[in-house]
Structure 1
Amino acid sequence: MAPDMPIPALRLYIVTFNCGLLPINTEAFASQLFSGLTSSKLPDVLVLSLQEIAPIPQSLIGGSFLIPFFERIYHAVQKGARKVSNATDGPPIYSPVSTRNLGLTGIMVFTKRPEAISDIETASVGVGMAEMGNKGAVGVRFTYQDSGSSTELTFVAAHLAAMESEVRRRNEDWENIVRGLVFSSTTAESKQNARAISDEGLPLLSISPRDASIFKPTSHLFLAGDLNYRTSKLAPAPSDHNDSFPQPYHSPLSPNHFSNLFKDDQLNQERLAGRTCHGLTEAAVTFPPTYKYSIKEPFLTSDEDLAHWNWAQHRWPSWCDRILYLDIPSWLSRVEPQAKLITHKYSALPLQPTSDHRPVSLEVSVPLVPIPSPDDEDGDDPRVNPPFDININWKRQRDRARILEIIVGFSMYFTTTWEGGGVLIAMIAGAVGSYFAFRAMLDV
């Protein structure tokens, strides 16, 4: 590319949201989904990182049990896009590229130009109990091409261990994600699997482990999710809620202003110390904590219009919901000095009526140029030297955990839900009826 020619850019919008184990309110989510944009121009690619997408039984079972929850989000995307573009009807603005889940964590990728996307790969790993998907990560990787220019993108949706004191466990979860999130090709099935959920892809047997890693040398990387890092290792004292929790009326000079809490942000501390999210960077956090709110009015209201934040009293307000990324690698900067990853806006969206988390969004422009293979001198980049090696037993462990998810999921479904209880009673009644019918035939 000539030095005086501007580099084309891909406009990308990422939103992470902990759904709170409930189906989203479609109208509410649609009304705020794109409020993190800097203009009314819709992005080329929309990526949704979702945690606690449904009740635990349905999430662990997956498949058709999750379709109603994903469908609500799909319709919210279309409604929100029409609102921004002032279109009342017509065909959907966004096409789903990939919809995947690993237990309670899901990812949805949408684009205005599905023909621009190719070489889709997916990955998933559980880091919860017995490596099940009550916590874990799911990823999607693909190539985006437009007007002869292309770039490769990797997106990871993650949900790490909860509770204030579990900093080391969260760091271990990150390590297990890096070791176990091994990407698999779905290119041959991309159309039929655009809305598929839960299924594993085909193992990448023909490429090097490094190219199957989360840190692929020729790919951009974005990590979004409920990473659960807090602003304290201890729960708040009873008096802290009134004395220390931030409110919208606190000025930046007040010791109670929310920015003061960020000094104790665990993610920032652990990341800068090299114990988690290795090599990843984050735009400046200028928005209030995203967790934990009491689920009560007012909802869907911007911080500028709020007089009070309804914090839950038993958790310190924290920035649990985050979006991080790898910056442009040095070897790309040497051959394309104009290639810049530009963050336009990093913000928290208004509180939704179904969750104690606020969604977080990132609007960013990615240079539409391929990342070449690195030189040996770039060893400090995690794309070249990942912090952890791939777990060679990742596939066996995922298969074993998937069996446990099915067993636990159906056990909980039959014993903890009205719908599942009704099915179980019907099955028992059918079995008893069949038994007596069979006995009656034998007595004839």
Structure 2
Amino acid sequence: MQKTNWKDAYKAKLTTPQEAVKRIKSGDTVLLAHAAAEPKALVEAMLDNYKEYSNVTISHMISLGEGRYSKPDMKDHFRYVGWFTDPSTRASIHQGQGDFVPVFFSEIPGMIRSKTLPVDVFMVMVSQPDEEGICSVGVSCDYTMQAIKSAATVIAQINAEVPRVGGEAYVHIDAFDCIVEASHPLPEVFWGESDEKDVAIGRHCASLIDDGATLQLGMGGIPNAVLAALRNKKHLGIHSEMISDGAVELIRAGVIDCSEKSIDRGKVVVNFLYGSKKLYDFVDNNPMIELRPADYTNNPLVIRQNSKFVCINSAIEVDLWGQVNAGSLNGKIFSGVGGQVDFIRGAAMSEDSRGIAIIAMHAAAVKKDGTKLSKIVGSLKAGTLVTTSQHDVDYVITEYGIAGLKGKTVKERARLLIAIADPDFREELASAFEARFGEKY
């Protein structure tokens, strides 16, 4: 296509946010791009136009917006159906106005393709087009590329702040039904300094990571502490759902160079990005960073090909059987499975038999009123969701140590978990052990 042709087509598709959202019809399912790629200008225009809609379903993974479509005053117009939940939308599920779809992150692109998860309108934020009319989806490839292909209507917000990131992240403006130009800074997150517990957990995790390992980490204090503890390692790689600012420092220091990865050598492979402007500037036109869809990054059959693969995920609580709850709190949906099980199973299936899966968490949580709760519990309460089964769990790490559960009996597992529990709760857990197994702890 000649440059003049695509530019003419671009001008023909260019419209205002208010006009673009008129393409949404009552009864439609509207999918929003994930996390930092949520098209703020389009969402705000849709909400301003709310009186024109009834029974519009809004779906997405994490939203970094206000989630106004999920609030009680919007119930006659919008219904939120989440694939993961966050503070802006969680209450609607708890109150019964919204709903939740349990789904592995790796399955989402395929479920969009098969229309198991139907999409009528997809709203996405992308970079400015290059000289050939090609945009980058920038900070969210996960289900974005498949949604662009599958949705009946695709509305794109062009944001000059969106970085151009490579991999399977490029899309020509021909794929968009209408285009809106609206630039604003991307959402940022600053995790602050890791505390003493994070640092201890980071050291424990680092002790299991060899030079040349390929890593999957999430976001937050513990992953950043793990990265900080890896400064003396060599030739690490990344194959993950995402990276944040902590990874940037190790890449710049040469610790993460991806030179010994068994697949995608030399490339940091993720499906979305979320951090500060430092991260977004770092990945812009950086040939080392590649975005791939979630059915590649999170596919256990792909993950297993990474040599010395180590995945690190978190939990709300772990019981003495070794069952992990990472998605519910007090019997209510709190988040979702995300990619935890995808990566744990990929590590377990590793071709070199050197895959390691870690659940890393503080031994106890402190509520706002100062009450301390053990995150290692005798049994999960009724109504608690099991995110990762006892059969899948490998290592559990707290600030008090490492519990390697693979190949251990249920009694051995329970003893190992009690040993890394907060000392204030070990006597209580020992009693639970004795009641369950009929022998002294």
**TM-score after normalising by structure 2:** 0.27
Q: TM-score, normalised by structure 1?
A: 0.27
Quick one: higher RCO (CA 8 Å, sep 6+), 1 or 2? 1
